[in-house]
Each structure stands twice: as C-alpha cells, then as structure tokens.
Amino acid sequence: MQSTGQPVSRYQDKNWWRQAVVYQIYPRSFVDSNADGIGDLKGITSRIDYLKSLNIDAVWLSPFYPSPLVDGGYDVSDYRDVDPKLGTLADFDEMLAALHKAGIRIFVDIVPNHCSYLHQWFQDAITSLPNSLERNRFIFRNGRGENGELPPTDWVSHFAPSAWTHESTFGGKHNQWFLHYFAPEQPDWNWDNPEIEEDFLKTLKFWADRGVDGFRIDVAHGLKKDLSEPFRMRNTLEHEVDRPADGNGILADRNEVFDVYRKWRKLFNQYDPPKVAVAEANVLPERVPLYASEETLGQCFDFRFIFIPFTARSYKESVAEAIELAKVNGSSCTWCLSNHDQIRHATKLGLDKSVDRKLWMLSDGTSAPLDKESGTRRALAATLFILALPGSTYLYQGEELGLHEVTDIPESMIQDPQYLKNLKVDKGRDGSRVPLPWNAQADYFGFSTGASHLPQPAWFKDYAVNVQSGKAESALSTYQRALQKRKELICEELITWHETGNAEVLHFSRPNGWNCLINFEGSDYLIPQGEILLSSAPITDGRLPAGTTVWIKR
C-alpha cells in the first residue's frame, strides 16, 4: 500500500513507482535535433519543458542503443552504448540530468531475449565452429532431414514462419540453424549459458550506475526455452508453446526465468531507492504475479485495457480482475491503453465494434469508416477513467494529443518486420510510430527540418501541440489538467464501486473522496452531488453525456 507515514522526499521514496504516471517516448519519433529525420536524445532534452508540462512522474524510452533498426531498435547490437544515429552517451547523461532536474525519472528498455545479428557476439558465433564457446551464447542446432536441410523443429516465430534460420543467411558455413523468437535478424540468447546472465547484470549495472531509475523488460517471459532433446514439437495449442499455465512452455514463460529475475532483484536492491522494473510478459493472467513479485521484477504490464471493448461491463470486470492480481503479491496495478505495438486507442475507439482491425489496417483504413471525433472523445474518457484507478499508468507519446493511427503508410516506406517478415498478413505497427506533430505551420510539423523517417499525413496539423496548447478543451489541456489533479488527489490504493442504476454508467471512489464516473453509451446521466473537478468533455446542467468521464470530490 502507499506509504502514509512520515513525508519523505519523492526521490527517496522507495514506493514512488506504485502510482507513477510513466510516459513512453519512442525516441526516433519524438523530436529530431539535427535534421536527419530521426528523432534523437538531444531532441528529447530540448523538450523537457513540454514533458514537465504534462505532470508525468517518469519517462520510459524505447531502445536507443546501436541497432540496424530491423525491429525499431528492439534488435540491439550493443547494450551499453547509444546509437550514433540518436546521439552519444554524453547526450544520454545530459538528458538524464535534465529530466531529473525537472523531477522526472527515467526507465530504459532492456531487451534480454534476443540481440541483433550485428551484435559482436553473434558475428563471432556465425564465424565459429559448432559447439564452440562463441556459438554456445546462442542457440545453434543441426537441422532435420537427410542433409540437415529442414529446421530442427516446427516452432514458429513472431515475425517469420519459422523460429529457425539457416546460418548461411548470415554467412555461416557449418550447415546449422539458429533460433529466433522474433525476426531472423534477432537471434535469441542462450540463457542456459552463465556468461549471458553475467553480461546482462553488467548491462543493468551500467545503466543503473548512470542514474537510470527503472527498467522496462522486453519479452520478459522469453529468455528460457525448453531445449531438451528430443525437442518437443509445436502443439496445436498455442499456450503450450509460449503461454503455458504451468510454467513449462517450450519457448516462453518457463519457471526457470524467475531464477534470473531474482538475481536482477538483488542488484536492483543494492541501490537507494531500489531500481524498479516492469515486465512486458505476454502470459496468462494468473502468471502475471510471478513477474510482479517483489522478489522478481516488481511490476508487470497488464494489457487488458488495450484489448477489451469500450463497455461498462468489460471495464468493470477488468478492473476487478487486475486489482485481484496485483494483490496476490503486493504489487501495484499497471494501466495502459496504447503503446508502440498497438493501434492508437483513439482510432480503435472510433471504429465500430464489429470491425476486424487487422483487416481494416490492411485495407489502409478504407474498409470501414472511422469516426475520429468519437474515437478521440472516447479515448479521453477511457484515459481519465484509468487515471483515477489505483496503481500506475503508462501513457504513449502522442496519445495526449488525441492522435490517431496513420493507416496508409505506403508499402515502400513500411519498416515494421511484423509486416515485412510476416508474409505481409499484418500491416504492422508503424502507424502508431509516426513522428509527433509539434507545430502545425512548420515543415514536418516541427518534428524535424528534414524529411521524417515515416511520413506524417497532412491531417496531423489538426493535432499539433501548438494548436492545442492553452486551449481549455483540447486533448492536450485535458491530459495536463488531469495529470496535475491526479498528483494532488493520489491516495491509498483502494477503490469502492457505487451503484448507478444504469448499465452504461460506472462509478467508483477512492478513500479521500475522489470519485470517478464514466458514461459509455447511455443517455445523459445526472452527476451525484459534489465538486466537479474535471471532465473529459464539457458537462452541461450537471449531466454526464455518453463517451465522457468526470471526476468529482465528495
């Protein structure tokens, strides 16, 4: 529970993360400082005032490490440096100092399941012999078939039909195959090799010593694999491969992974306040607490609000379930509606519920109409709803502008391996990663003075920061006000539900009288007595319209 004892400086409070608001920056698409069309660390430093104006507690930076950018930087070739395209370690230190000075903490992304094929250790492995020390840092095996021409198993990867690639693709000459849970350019580490454990502890310490406050752990359920032979072949049930109920999956969510995280926790706890971590683990809900335990990573993303429909019933059920899960080990809830892997939530909520979003994206957003206004309106309502819940909230850059997904990136400009390597069955995630519009009048909307690495559509001008700043009813002002109020209102991590007598309206309160009501699709609802603190859309005659959230104090 939130500490209620003696006041402590926020910087010493070891519980600061429990109800923090963390703003995700996708560095390449935030601000570009040197006109090469790629956002960079100096760009982030130049916008500290903006970040401060958001009243966030921390930023989380998606990877900025040296990378050939096959998977947007989640293909790391050196874990302890900055990609020259994005800056230098000195730029990083400068950015961190400026963030801390502004009272904003920083999470960096750690990608331990796989690296880039350009990582020196993979380059060493591919030129070494089978069974060599160099190859043993990865997962190399002989193929099946008379001449080893078939992959060792039928396992599939997220970004390619097979989870195995023949080494010849990268110049290897020994007829072996290597394992990759994602793209072939992202070889998986062999976590049964203690050298890998040691190297990641070194990486964590490197960033922790530089002053980083927390870590977001990519594919935290990966790392350990069942490599016992004969290999288990893929079952028709997906969960037996990577979403097991019993910790005995083939490719992910294996119980041994917690041995790794217990060691990481020991390292985190050597700092004061301890470093924090949040797991990105795509696992069955009942396994989430294992990642969020105070002996392991401490917190685990809960992505349910990204997927559930915008209905009173699913919102209420989801909150209840998430709170129960967080209680299992005393972690705090993690709410989020958008991130760099998902269609922006304003867009999801502007589509009819019957629309298959994947097919809609493949049609460049033409197969069904998008009601942008309703989408942004519902998105703000959903955001104010989750911001009033106990726990921490993870926001994604651009959502504070009510920004929509870009659906029509021309095929020649698509970067995402989810499209390119995946037989093009999925349009991919670039549409949520288009550089932010800062200034409606400027070239490239003030993101850069050179062509941006992903094209910004003309309609981005309507969402630009300078158009929204200071306008009371803009999405940006609503976020700024809500986050400011939230800071004042934050209290014990408890909620009480109240009957509304209306199936479309939810009402809950926090112990200090902070009440939140949301009307999904019902007719105007009479707001109970109390001081109206703020709302996601204008309120008239004390009535809450559909697609609106209000906070009141009573």
Among 26, 40, 243, 340, binds Ca ion (CB under 5 A): 40
Does 32 participate in binding Ca ion (rule CB under 5 A)?
A: yes
Dihedrals φ, ψ of 552, to 5°? -130, 160
Q: For residues 276 and 214, is the Cβ–Cβ distance under 8 A?
A: yes
Give the binding range for ligand NOJ (CB under 6 A) out of 70-78, 93-101, 311-319, 515-523.
70-78
Tokens matching residue 129:
């012999």
Question: Which one of 67-75, 139-147, 197-205, 526-534 is the stretch in contact with ligand NOJ (CB under 6 A)?
Answer: 67-75
Q: Cα dist. 120→79, 171, 356, 439 in Å?
A: 11, 14, 42, 41
- 426 touches ligand NOJ by CB under 6 A: no
N- to C-terminal Cα distance for the chain?
23
Candidate list 32, 83, 185, 218; residue touching ligand NOJ; CB under 6 A: 218
Nearer Cβ to ligand NOJ (74/419): 74
DSSP category for residue 307: H
Nearer to ligand NOJ, 21 or 111 (CB): 111
For residue 544, the surrounding DSSP H or E stretch is strand 543-544
Considering the complex, state which of residue 157 and residue 383 has its C-beta at the smaller distance from ligand NOJ.
157
List the interface residues with ligand NOJ, window 273-292 (CB under 6 A): 280
Told to check if 74 binds ligand NOJ by CB under 6 A, we report: yes
Binding-site string for ligand NOJ from residue 180 to residue 199, where x marks contact by CB under 6 A and - marks none = --x-----------------
Choose between 253 and 280: whose C-beta lies nearer to ligand NOJ.
Answer: 280
Contact in structure between 89 and 82 (CB atoms under 8 Å): yes
Strands across the sheet containing 58-61: 298-300, 276-279, 214-217, 105-110, 58-61, 21-25, 392-396, 334-336
Check residue 34 for interaction with Ca ion (CB under 5 A).
yes
Q: Which residue has the tokens 């020991």?
A: 266
Site for Ca ion in 507-546 (CB under 5 A): none
Q: How many residues bind ligand NOJ (CB under 6 A)?
A: 10
DSSP code per residue over 458-522: GGGGGG-HHHHTT-TTSHHHHHHHHHHHHHHH---S--EE---S-TTEEEEE-TTSEEEEEESSS
Tell which positions 327-356 bind ligand NOJ, by CB under 6 A.
340-341
| Residue 317 dihedral angles phi and psi, to the nearest 5° | -60, -40
218 binds, among ligand NOJ, Ca ion, none (CB under 5 to 8 A by kind): ligand NOJ
Stretch touching Ca ion by CB under 5 A, among 27-35, 97-105, 108-116, 495-503: 27-35
- Residues β-bridged to residue 543: 526, 540
Nearer to Ca ion, 41 or 51 (CB): 41
Residue 36 as a binder of Ca ion (CB under 5 A): the answer is yes
In the bound state with ligand NOJ, the residue whose beta carbon lies nearer, of 93 and 341, is 341
223 belongs to the binding site for ligand NOJ (CB under 6 A): no
Residue 219 makes contact with ligand NOJ by CB under 6 A: yes
**Cβ(388)–Cβ(514) below 8 Å:** yes
Instruction: Identify which of residues 63 and 274 has a Cβ nearer to ligand NOJ in the complex.
Output: 63
* Residue 36 interacting entry, from Ca ion, ligand NOJ, none, C-beta within 5 to 8 Å by type: Ca ion
40 binds, among ligand NOJ, Ca ion, none (CB under 5 to 8 A by kind): Ca ion
Q: Which of 32, 57, 71, 400 binds ligand NOJ (CB under 6 A)?
A: 71
Tokens, residue 308? 């559930």
Q: Which residues are registered as beta bridge partners of 514?
A: 553
Of the candidates 270, 269, 103, 241, the residue with the CA atom closest to the CA atom of residue 179:
241
User: Are 427 and 419 a contacting pair, CB within 8 Å?
Assistant: yes
Q: How far is the CB of 38 from ligand NOJ (least distance, A)?
A: 17
Cis peptide before 112 (omega within 30 of 0): no
> Which does residue 430 bind out of ligand NOJ, Ca ion, none, counting CB within 5 to 8 angstroms by kind?
none
- Indicate whether 111 belongs to the interface with ligand NOJ (CB under 6 A): yes
Contact by Cβ (8 Å): 448, 32: yes
Residues in contact with ligand NOJ by CB under 6 A are 71-72, 74, 111, 182, 218-219, 280, 340-341
Residues in contact with Ca ion by CB under 5 A are 32, 34, 36, 38, 40
